[in-house]
Protein backbone atom coordinates (compact mmCIF):
# COMPACT_ATOMS: atom_id res chain seq x y z
CA UNK A 1 0.00 0.00 0.00
CA UNK A 2 1.35 3.43 -0.91
CA UNK A 3 2.00 5.79 2.04
CA UNK A 4 -0.26 8.52 0.66
CA UNK A 5 -3.20 6.13 0.75
CA UNK A 6 -2.91 5.36 4.43
CA UNK A 7 -4.66 8.21 6.17
CA UNK A 8 -8.08 8.47 4.43
CA UNK A 9 -8.54 4.71 4.41
CA UNK A 10 -7.24 4.22 7.95
CA UNK A 11 -9.66 6.83 9.29
CA UNK A 12 -12.60 4.86 7.87
CA UNK A 13 -11.42 1.26 8.29
CA UNK A 14 -11.13 -0.62 11.55
CA UNK A 15 -9.20 -3.38 9.80
CA UNK A 16 -6.61 -0.96 8.47
CA UNK A 17 -6.29 0.83 11.81
CA UNK A 18 -5.26 -2.41 13.49
CA UNK A 19 -3.02 -3.89 10.82
CA UNK A 20 -1.10 -0.77 9.86
CA UNK A 21 0.06 -0.52 13.47
CA UNK A 22 1.85 -3.82 12.90
CA UNK A 23 3.06 -3.45 9.31
CA UNK A 24 3.16 -0.95 6.43
CA UNK A 25 2.48 -3.73 3.94
CA UNK A 26 -0.94 -5.29 3.52
CA UNK A 27 -1.51 -7.74 0.68
CA UNK A 28 -4.86 -7.58 -1.12
CA UNK A 29 -4.74 -11.36 -1.41
CA UNK A 30 -4.83 -11.59 2.38
CA UNK A 31 -8.05 -9.60 2.63
CA UNK A 32 -9.64 -11.13 -0.49
CA UNK A 33 -10.37 -7.85 -2.24
CA UNK A 34 -9.47 -7.36 -5.90
CA UNK A 35 -7.32 -4.43 -7.00
CA UNK A 36 -10.26 -2.98 -8.93
CA UNK A 37 -12.54 -3.08 -5.88
CA UNK A 38 -9.81 -1.66 -3.68
CA UNK A 39 -9.42 1.24 -6.12
CA UNK A 40 -13.15 1.97 -5.77
CA UNK A 41 -12.83 1.89 -1.98
CA UNK A 42 -9.97 4.38 -2.17
CA UNK A 43 -12.09 6.63 -4.40
CA UNK A 44 -14.84 6.53 -1.80
CA UNK A 45 -12.40 7.38 0.98
CA UNK A 46 -11.16 10.42 -0.91
CA UNK A 47 -14.69 11.76 -1.24
CA UNK A 48 -15.41 10.68 -4.80
CA UNK A 49 -19.10 10.38 -5.68
CA UNK A 50 -18.70 6.65 -6.23
CA UNK A 51 -21.71 5.28 -8.15
CA UNK A 52 -23.20 2.06 -6.82
CA UNK A 53 -24.45 -0.29 -9.54
CA UNK A 54 -25.75 -3.87 -9.72
CA UNK A 55 -22.35 -4.77 -11.18
CA UNK A 56 -20.24 -3.42 -8.31
CA UNK A 57 -22.45 -3.44 -5.22
CA UNK A 58 -21.65 -7.03 -4.17
CA UNK A 59 -17.89 -6.47 -4.29
CA UNK A 60 -18.17 -3.13 -2.47
CA UNK A 61 -20.52 -4.53 0.19
CA UNK A 62 -18.07 -7.38 0.88
CA UNK A 63 -15.10 -5.01 0.94
CA UNK A 64 -16.87 -2.68 3.35
CA UNK A 65 -17.51 -5.58 5.73
CA UNK A 66 -13.99 -7.03 5.46
CA UNK A 67 -12.39 -3.61 6.02
CA UNK A 68 -14.84 -2.85 8.87
CA UNK A 69 -15.87 0.47 7.36
CA UNK A 70 -18.64 1.09 9.88
CA UNK A 71 -20.19 4.12 11.55
CA UNK A 72 -17.83 3.58 14.48
CA UNK A 73 -15.04 5.03 12.35
CA UNK A 74 -16.83 7.50 10.07
CA UNK A 75 -20.39 8.78 9.63
CA UNK A 76 -22.06 7.54 6.44
CA UNK A 77 -19.29 5.05 5.96
CA UNK A 78 -19.16 2.41 3.23
CA UNK A 79 -20.97 -0.30 5.20
CA UNK A 80 -23.97 1.93 5.76
CA UNK A 81 -23.99 3.27 2.20
CA UNK A 82 -23.81 -0.18 0.58
CA UNK A 83 -26.43 -1.61 2.95
CA UNK A 84 -28.77 1.24 2.04
CA UNK A 85 -28.34 0.65 -1.71
CA UNK A 86 -28.89 -3.06 -1.24
CA UNK A 87 -32.09 -2.59 0.75
CA UNK A 88 -33.52 0.15 -1.45
CA UNK A 89 -32.52 -1.09 -4.91
CA UNK A 90 -31.48 -4.75 -4.93
CA UNK A 91 -34.17 -6.20 -2.66
CA UNK A 92 -36.92 -4.22 -4.38
CA UNK A 93 -36.20 -5.20 -7.97
CA UNK A 94 -36.11 -8.82 -9.07
CA UNK A 95 -34.15 -8.12 -12.25
CA UNK A 96 -31.47 -6.23 -10.32
CA UNK A 97 -31.41 -8.99 -7.69
CA UNK A 98 -30.69 -11.57 -10.37
CA UNK A 99 -27.71 -9.56 -11.66
CA UNK A 100 -26.35 -9.07 -8.13
CA UNK A 101 -26.87 -12.76 -7.36
CA UNK A 102 -24.49 -13.78 -10.14
CA UNK A 103 -21.90 -11.30 -8.89
CA UNK A 104 -22.35 -12.51 -5.31
CA UNK A 105 -21.89 -16.16 -6.28
CA UNK A 106 -18.48 -15.23 -7.68
CA UNK A 107 -17.52 -13.82 -4.27
CA UNK A 108 -18.47 -16.77 -2.08
CA UNK A 109 -17.93 -17.46 0.77
CA UNK A 110 -17.29 -13.78 1.67
CA UNK A 111 -20.54 -12.67 0.03
CA UNK A 112 -22.58 -14.84 2.39
CA UNK A 113 -20.61 -14.97 5.63
CA UNK A 114 -21.94 -12.14 7.74
CA UNK A 115 -23.45 -10.15 4.87
CA UNK A 116 -25.89 -12.72 3.39
CA UNK A 117 -25.89 -11.24 -0.11
CA UNK A 118 -26.63 -14.51 -1.90
CA UNK A 119 -29.50 -15.44 0.40
CA UNK A 120 -30.98 -11.93 0.24
CA UNK A 121 -30.95 -12.02 -3.57
CA UNK A 122 -32.58 -15.45 -3.62
CA UNK A 123 -35.16 -14.29 -1.09
CA UNK A 124 -36.07 -11.39 -3.39
CA UNK A 125 -36.31 -13.69 -6.40
CA UNK A 126 -38.47 -16.24 -4.57
CA UNK A 127 -40.79 -13.90 -2.70
CA UNK A 128 -44.35 -14.62 -3.93
CA UNK A 129 -45.45 -12.01 -6.41
CA UNK A 130 -48.49 -10.80 -4.51
CA UNK A 131 -46.59 -10.29 -1.25
CA UNK A 132 -43.74 -8.58 -3.06
CA UNK A 133 -46.22 -6.30 -4.85
CA UNK A 134 -47.95 -5.29 -1.59
CA UNK A 135 -44.59 -4.53 0.00
CA UNK A 136 -43.71 -2.21 -2.85
CA UNK A 137 -47.12 -0.55 -2.73
CA UNK A 138 -46.36 0.36 0.89
CA UNK A 139 -42.97 1.67 -0.20
CA UNK A 140 -44.70 3.88 -2.76
CA UNK A 141 -46.89 5.25 -0.02
CA UNK A 142 -43.73 6.27 1.83
CA UNK A 143 -42.30 8.12 -1.15
CA UNK A 144 -40.61 5.15 -2.83
CA UNK A 145 -41.17 3.63 -6.23
CA UNK A 146 -43.30 0.68 -7.29
CA UNK A 147 -41.27 -1.63 -9.46
CA UNK A 148 -42.45 -4.28 -11.89
CA UNK A 149 -43.60 -7.25 -9.77
CA UNK A 150 -43.12 -9.99 -12.37
CA UNK A 151 -41.06 -13.01 -11.42
CA UNK A 152 -37.95 -13.08 -13.57
CA UNK A 153 -36.67 -16.25 -15.23
CA UNK A 154 -35.25 -19.10 -13.19
CA UNK A 155 -32.02 -19.03 -15.21
CA UNK A 156 -30.12 -18.40 -11.98
CA UNK A 157 -31.10 -21.74 -10.41
CA UNK A 158 -28.43 -23.87 -12.20
CA UNK A 159 -25.71 -21.56 -10.86
CA UNK A 160 -26.96 -22.01 -7.30
CA UNK A 161 -27.32 -25.79 -7.47
CA UNK A 162 -23.66 -26.13 -8.48
CA UNK A 163 -22.55 -24.99 -5.02
CA UNK A 164 -21.00 -27.32 -2.48
CA UNK A 165 -23.42 -28.96 -0.06
CA UNK A 166 -22.22 -26.89 2.88
CA UNK A 167 -22.64 -23.57 1.09
CA UNK A 168 -25.97 -24.54 -0.44
CA UNK A 169 -27.41 -25.75 2.85
CA UNK A 170 -26.32 -22.62 4.72
CA UNK A 171 -27.71 -20.30 2.07
CA UNK A 172 -31.07 -22.06 1.83
CA UNK A 173 -31.45 -22.11 5.62
CA UNK A 174 -30.86 -18.37 5.63
CA UNK A 175 -33.41 -17.88 2.84
CA UNK A 176 -35.95 -20.00 4.72
CA UNK A 177 -35.69 -17.83 7.83
CA UNK A 178 -36.14 -14.65 5.79
CA UNK A 179 -38.74 -15.56 3.20
CA UNK A 180 -42.29 -14.32 3.77
CA UNK A 181 -45.21 -16.45 2.61
CA UNK A 182 -45.05 -19.73 0.71
CA UNK A 183 -41.79 -21.67 0.65
CA UNK A 184 -42.64 -23.43 -2.61
CA UNK A 185 -39.79 -21.64 -4.35
CA UNK A 186 -37.29 -22.94 -1.78
CA UNK A 187 -38.55 -26.49 -2.26
CA UNK A 188 -38.19 -26.14 -6.03
CA UNK A 189 -34.55 -25.01 -5.70
CA UNK A 190 -33.78 -27.83 -3.23
CA UNK A 191 -35.41 -30.31 -5.60
CA UNK A 192 -33.20 -29.05 -8.43
CA UNK A 193 -30.14 -29.46 -6.19
CA UNK A 194 -31.09 -33.04 -5.28
CA UNK A 195 -31.50 -33.88 -8.97
CA UNK A 196 -27.96 -32.67 -9.63
CA UNK A 197 -26.63 -34.82 -6.79
CA UNK A 198 -28.52 -37.88 -8.03
CA UNK A 199 -27.19 -37.31 -11.54
CA UNK A 200 -23.59 -37.26 -10.30
CA UNK A 201 -24.15 -40.29 -8.07
CA UNK A 202 -26.12 -42.48 -10.45
CA UNK A 203 -25.88 -40.79 -13.83
CA UNK A 204 -29.61 -40.18 -14.03
What is the per-residue pLDDT across 72-115, written as a single tens digit (0 to 9) for each? 999 999 999 999 999 999 999 999 999 999 999 999 999 999 99
How confident is the model at residue 21, as a pLDDT?
Answer: 79
DSSP symbols for 82-95: HHHHHHHTGGG-HH
- HSE at residue 132, side-chain half, CA atoms within 13 A, is 20
Assess contact for 52 and 84: CB atoms under 8 A.
no
At 5-14, the pLDDT tens digits run 457 888 999 9
The structural domains of the chain, ordered by start, are 1-88 (3.30.710.10), 103-204 (no CATH)
Distance separating alpha carbons of residues 23 and 16, to the nearest angstrom: 10
In angstroms, rounded to a whole number, what is the distance separating the alpha carbons of residues 13 and 21?
13
Amino acid sequence: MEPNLKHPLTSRSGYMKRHLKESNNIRLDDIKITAHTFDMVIEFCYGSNLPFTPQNIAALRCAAEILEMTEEYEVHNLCRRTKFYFSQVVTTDKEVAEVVLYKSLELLPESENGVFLVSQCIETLLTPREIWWESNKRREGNGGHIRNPQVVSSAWVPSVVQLSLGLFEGIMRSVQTRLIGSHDGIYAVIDAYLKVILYFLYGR
